[in-house]
Structure 1
Amino acid sequence: MAPTTPTLTAERILEATEEVLRRHGPAKATVVDVARALGVSHGSVYRHFRTKAALREAVTQRWLDRTAEALSGIVAETDRDPETRLRDWLAGLFAAKRRKAGADPELFATYSVLATEHGGVVSDHLTELTEQLTRIIQAGVDTGAFTTADPLTSATAVFQATGRFHDPGYAKEWEQPGAQGEFEAVVDLLVRGLRG
């Protein structure tokens, strides 16, 4: 009896695409490479993703979603005080970006290229992260921990003020001596500002 091949799913294709991107980089990776890695025809891949651009967009979305999903758990911890959640959320974002850049620099560089190609996906991701921050800051307003008239504007300001610690353009600085201390100083300053 012949061995059965696992069903070809979008998730399997995305996993293989990530591996192909890691191996070949965004300039050389092709749908044929992905299909070869899966042991299927490139037409089988195209049944799930109509174009190479759609496949690259989906793999970029998947990569960004991992961060947003991890941070959403902090947002959902409504039994914890908002200031602690805010600090933990910002620290979680910084740690996730550092981990991605440090653990797999080739793939991180690849995703930086893909993110540039798929600005809409990145824009949606940034909106989602800002919405998460807004919910935490709104909870702080509701409990009296923060005194801001506009949680969305404050969340946007906090996100922008901490950009050096999550924008991939600063990745080389994240492992510099003192980066963690600088991050903590910025967060302390922002939290004091939110307290009023």
Structure 2
Amino acid sequence: MARPKPDEDLIKAQLLDAAERLLARYGPAKVTVTEIASECGMSQSNAYRYYPTKQALMAAFAARWFSEVEAKLAEIAQGQGTPRARLRHLLKTQLAIKIERHDRDPALFRAYLELAAANPAAVAAHSKRLSSLIDGLVAETSDGLSGRKINLAATTQAILDATLMVRDPWLIARFRDALDKERADSLIDLAISALD
């Protein structure tokens, strides 16, 4: 009788879950694939079948973190309501997700920041995807303005600049104590006023 084929997606998810637990404890520099594999009850060589290097495993881990955020924000961008209301909701949700992750496990959040610093291309791609959601909502708002067109690129950039403190995880971590709901709402409202 043939051995059943292992569920690759499940094993990859187990490795990423184990990496998350260990990253929160030790940080990216000190975590090894051997430890991650051991945490899953498998050999190092088996772990390398799914992720050929530690860097590949860490990149997959970061991609999972990014994809969860992107999926939620894309759902909002494509949802119901006016473009302006969806933009406000998107920005508030982006902050809420990051604050929740920071407050739930500050050590893991710092590990994410270290991974981000070590993987600038992945961060740039993630930022570009999120910026395109904002750009799309700005374009929709522009279409609804009677007889007036706005400079889409400049308006999107103004919104991104004005909301940096509520979007950038480094700034969220640094200014977490000062970043209450009232301050965040003021920043978001200021940014959206670029659409007036």
Normalised to the residue count of structure 2, the TM-score between the two structures is: 0.88
For structure 2, which runs of at least 5 residues remain unmatched after alignment? none
Cross-structure match for 1:157:
158
Describe how 1:55-74 pairs up with structure 2 within 5 A: 55-74=57-76
Shift of 1:39: 0.9
Residues 104-163 of structure 1: CA deviation (Å, up to 9, x unaligned): 101000000000000010000000000010111111112228955332432232122211
Alignment coverage as a number of residue pairs: 190
Compared with structure 1, are the counterparts of its residues 33 and 139 closer, same or farther at alpha carbon in structure 2 (3 Å cutoff)? same
Cross-structure match for 1:135:
136
Does 2:46 match 1:44?
yes
Shift of 1:17: 1.3
8 Å Cα contact 1:148-1:154 kept in structure 2: no
The one-letter code of the counterpart of 1:35 is: A
For structure 1, which runs of at least 5 residues remain unmatched after alignment? none
Describe how 1:1-196 pairs up with structure 2 within 5 A: 7-8=7-8, 9-77=11-79, 79-144=80-145, 148-170=149-171, 171-176=173-178, 179-195=180-196
Question: How high is the sequence identity, in percent, across the aligned residues?
Answer: 28
Shift of 1:73: 0.9
Residues 7-30 of structure 1: CA deviation (Å, up to 9, x unaligned): 453222212211121222212110
What is the CA–CA distance in structure 1 between the aligned matches of 2:189 and 2:148, rounded to whole Å? Answer: 16
What is the CA–CA distance in structure 1 between the aligned matches of 2:163 and 2:138, rounded to whole Å? Answer: 15
Secondary structure of 1:175's counterpart equals helix
Shift of 1:55: 0.8
8 Å Cα contact 2:69-2:97 kept in structure 1: yes
Compared with structure 1, are the counterparts of its residues 51 and 145 closer, same or farther at alpha carbon in structure 2 (3 Å cutoff)? farther
Secondary structure of 2:31's counterpart equals coil
Compared with structure 1, are the counterparts of its residues 148 and 90 closer, same or farther at alpha carbon in structure 2 (3 Å cutoff)? farther
What is the CA–CA distance in structure 2 between the aligned matches of 1:53 and 1:120, rounded to whole Å? Answer: 13
Compared with structure 1, are the counterparts of its residues 119 and 49 closer, same or farther at alpha carbon in structure 2 (3 Å cutoff)? same
